[in-house]
Structure 1
Amino acid sequence: MSTINDVLTQQEKHHILAAPSKKVPAAATSGTTTFNLYNSTTSNTVYAYVTGLAINNNSSTYLLEADGVTPYYPANPSSNGSALAQNCSIPLGAVGSTTSITIPYTAGGRLWFSIGSQITFLLNPSSTGAQIVEPSSTNTSDPNYNLTWDFCEFSYSSAEIYVNISYVDFVCIPIGLELTNTSGTVTHVSGLPANGLETIANNLVAQNNSDGAGWDQLIVKKSDGSTLRVLNPTGGIDFNPSLFQNYWSSYVNQVWDQYVSTPLVVDTQYTWGTVSGNTSNDRSSITFNGIGSFTKPSAADIFGQNTGPFAAQATNTAELLNVGARLSTAINRSTLLTDANQPDGETVASYYTNSITNHYARIVHAANLDGKGYCFPYDDVGNSNEVDQSGYLSDPSPQTLLVTVGGGNASAKLRARLAAAERPRPRFVRRSLAPMVPRIEEIEEQLPEYRDLEKGEYEHPKLMNEIARPEDPASRLTLPPALERTFGKYLEVSSGIPFHRTRVELIRSRKFAIHHSMYAYVRPWN
């Protein structure tokens, strides 16, 4: 039986969206919301596409038709690579115009954009219905490989809407988000300016000129020599397995040496509390007593955060993945040598200050006018008093979502407005690994609301979210006994899952909601 977790893993690895055999429970009522798509590119030929799983139609795969209103549920085809039977290219108007589309309750949603050419989506047959074959950024045989396209992710249910921009796979088209709720409150993620892609490419070249590590190999060029997209380091390794092979070796060796006598303290930011570990005398692993050990990771393990020592283990999976998320994140940000208290002792200003660091993440964050956006899978881990870096928007009562394609939302004026209004994220919201939540059938009567994050409902193959522990133990949130018993169970995760792990976030002091994230990592899986 396939779950949302299973089908989203397949989507990330093979670029195929399929309906799960274990269906997402339909909402008691159906609903729609409006996405306003603003063309801020320099082209009058821009197309939008919507793909996802229809919550109120048996979790079926769907695309929106060209009218931007009608869901198209493709019939199960007879063979792989079959064409769509409907036109699902939604034309945006001329530069400066806004096109409105209607979104039904959706799990695993993606809003795609292409400039200059239409995207080709194909269909494969399966036992649960038609599978949607989506574009790949690393498969040179993909019909969309040489086209200019990108996407943002969303989920929408009776509980809330969630949307994010992600750079975990690659960077291509600037996308900005502005969410207005029914009370008129506006939240915003600026995204990249119009020249953001070239800025990132130029800075990667400069970084490579400085250290010779191969950062320029992440740049994919068009035939005219301009930049088509910039891949994340994992995508670069897909093309060249020797890329960054020894890049992290000296840094990792220093980290493992440092914690032989000094404890490495990790706040799980969940019911496990704070745990500590030390390096073994032979420097082979860092062990957290009663939890597990982490051997020295390779470059691919560090950038991907789901293989080697950071992969799911046979026992104690949930807590071990939680600690691993914080360990691998600190390595990407190069803060483990300066901060033995993870992640509570860190500040955003301390990220990426070592010469050996994830310069892709550093450069992409710097290019975004508000500094926000997923640049690696656990980019939402951090000190609760610091501004969240992952760049997502959510609201239980959405009215409209403005999605700007081309960089128009990333303006100096908006930057100033955001800086003036910026507040630390609520301490009761955390996005990192936690124990497995009850199965939906067990909690529907106990939880009045439920939601997903980034792409999927209830379960997600990236990681689980959790509540940050308040400063005062007496003020900590408590769950009903039935939920406490269930939350002790470990997360059931296959060791073959390539990147994400199930993410769950319990939020709001009055209501608990299930809330997932793509991968933010949507790695180029070929």
Structure 2
Amino acid sequence: MTPRHQRTLGRRRLLFALGGAAVAVPAIATVAPHALAGTPAGGAAPAAAESMPLTIVNDSGTFDNANVHVYIVGNQDGRQVRVTPDGTLAPIALSDNGPDGFTDYAISLSGGGETRLSLPHMSGRIYVSLGAKLKFKAVADGNGNAALQYPAGWVTSDPNYPVLHDCAEFTFNAAGMFCNTTMVDMFSVPLSIRLTGAKDQTTGKLRAGGRAAAFAAVRQVEEFAPLVVDDTRIIAPGHGLDAGLFAKDYFAPSIDEVWSTYTGRDLTVTTNAGTFTGRVRGERFAFDGPAQVSFAKPSTRDVLFCDGNLAAPNDGTTGPVAAVLGAGFNRSTLIGHPAQPTTDAADFYRTELTNHYAKAMHAAHEDGKAYGFAFDDVADFASYIQDTAPTGIRLTLTPFEG
């Protein structure tokens, strides 16, 4: 599978479009998931079926099926949609809001055992909430079209803040299925995905006791401890920064060291477009190679969100280099490894000043893969799988304990 930093990057923009900015109310979803490839690398493939079996399995060991609620929401052909319990697509409508001002798009699980649904072509998220339902609100977007406000579990004023919930992301279209479990915004409910088709693949499965271990690991680092919300969730540090829970200058010493180091020597970044060679010149990190690209010094927020001065346009040159730099900052590999990307996980997160949230997410997973930040797919370390001939997808709520 082609490394994600060498594929298109545009879908990562969902980090903000699906509520990635910590605001008073959840943002409106307008684009497809940030962690997904739109088409397979290496050319065309046979068109995938227009619908696919989706199986939901509750192995949480904590909540019975009656207390698990599923929501499938997203986009199809530029319009916002949801999947109904019978597997059909329905457009988001303002009239869907009930007397309390919120929609009820919940799909109930079967009384016992597995729940089988049908998933049509669309891009979006599969949310699960435990104990209580989620409150999605249908609103009018800037063009007057009905749109959906998504839960923002990192915003205390959000009506879903008290609710235990999480999600997986996917794009399912004629090119196949592209899906992941994500911790880019927060980590709460342990979820795994099994995708069958040309191959049989699983991602997102935690080690025994992985959830508790992740909570404990983040709590143990003073700067990151405020991100842990009881036993409900761990907020990603970027959202924590916006909420005043995380230091705005946390990565400043590391950023300054990178800028100082590469004033006097070269950093090479290899992508599908070729190898870029860069040095800091006049306060900008300037790269020559297949194209000339440069970056102003990023802030801690830019590093955590992989945005701002590390934004990755879908241009095949600046975008891939930005992705590799973003991964290097979060994994703390830029100083010791002047040839990027670093591909040996044993070299990641080895310094005291690092992204301890992402480190904990990876340590908690059986295969060491997780989506702890938006460019965690660089060198294929994300909990992401794809299949161009999918025959079924299985989302499992894995055990909270043990």
**If the length of structure 2 is used for normalisation, what is the TM-score?**
0.82
* Equivalent residues in 2 for 1:11-160, closer than 5 Å: 11-13=18-20, 14-18=26-30, 31-41=50-60, 42-44=62-64, 45-55=67-77, 59-65=78-84, 67-77=85-95, 82-84=101-103, 87-93=104-110, 97-107=113-123, 109-126=124-141, 127=143, 129-160=145-176
How far did 1:101 drift?
0.8
Distance of aligned partners of 1:7 and 1:400 in 2 relative to their CA distance in 1, 3 Å threshold:
closer
How far did 1:405 drift?
0.9
Q: Does 1:176 align with 2:198?
A: no
* Correspondence for 1:452: none
Distance 1:195 1:249 in 2: 34
How far did 1:7 drift?
8.4
Q: Does 1:319 align with 2:317?
A: yes
CA RMSD, 1 decimal: 3.2
Q: Could you say what secondary structure the match of 2:242 adopts?
A: helix
Q: Could you say what secondary structure the match of 1:398 adopts?
A: coil
* Correspondence for 1:285: 284
Distance 2:323 2:80 in 1: 31
- Aligned partners of 1:191 and 1:373 also within 8 Å: no
Distance 1:5 1:39 in 2: 29
Distance of aligned partners of 1:137 and 1:378 in 2 relative to their CA distance in 1, 3 Å threshold:
same
Distance 1:407 1:351 in 2: 27
- Aligned partners of 1:19 and 1:129 also within 8 Å: no
Distance 2:97 2:195 in 1: 40
* Correspondence for 1:433: none
* Correspondence for 2:264: 261
Distance of aligned partners of 1:293 and 1:52 in 2 relative to their CA distance in 1, 3 Å threshold:
closer
- Aligned partners of 1:305 and 1:377 also within 8 Å: yes
Q: Give the partner amino acid of 1:394.
A: Q
* Correspondence for 1:199: 213
* Correspondence for 1:248: 251
Q: Does 1:232 align with 2:236?
A: yes
Structure with greater contact order relative to length (CA < 8 Å, sep ≥ 6): 2
Distance 2:153 2:265 in 1: 43
Q: Cα deviations across residues 230-262 of structure 1 (Å, max 9, x unaligned)? A: 011101101117x33332233223222222232
Q: Percent identity?
A: 27
* Correspondence for 1:460: none
Q: Cα deviations across residues 414-466 of structure 1 (Å, max 9, x unaligned)? A: xxxxxxxxxxxxxxxxxxxxxxxxxxxxxxxxxxxxxxxxxxxxxxxxxxxxx
* Gaps in structure 2 of 5+ consecutive residues: 1-9, 21-25, 33-37, 39-45
Q: Give the partner amino acid of 2:378.
A: V
Aligned length: 369
Distance 2:96 2:119 in 1: 29
Match of 1:216 among 225, 232, 248: 225
* Correspondence for 1:399: 391
Distance 2:264 2:13 in 1: 41
Distance 1:11 1:334 in 2: 27
Distance 1:192 1:299 in 2: 29
Q: Cα deviations across residues 276-300 of structure 1 (Å, max 9, x unaligned)? A: 11223x7x33222462433332211
Relative to its length, the structure with more strand (as a share) is 2
Q: Does 1:340 align with 2:338?
A: yes
* Equivalent residues in 2 for 1:293-372, closer than 5 Å: 293-307=294-308, 309-311=309-311, 319-343=317-341, 346-372=343-369
Q: Give the partner amino acid of 2:140.
A: P
How far did 1:29 drift?
9.8
**If the length of structure 1 is used for normalisation, what is the TM-score?**
0.64
How far did 1:8 drift?
8.3
Distance of aligned partners of 1:194 and 1:128 in 2 relative to their CA distance in 1, 3 Å threshold:
farther
- Aligned partners of 1:46 and 1:115 also within 8 Å: yes
Match of 1:270 among 262, 269, 272: 272
Distance 2:47 2:303 in 1: 43
- Aligned partners of 1:17 and 1:132 also within 8 Å: yes
* Correspondence for 1:438: none
Distance of aligned partners of 1:407 and 1:79 in 2 relative to their CA distance in 1, 3 Å threshold:
closer
* Gaps in structure 1 of 5+ consecutive residues: 209-213, 222-226, 383-387, 412-526
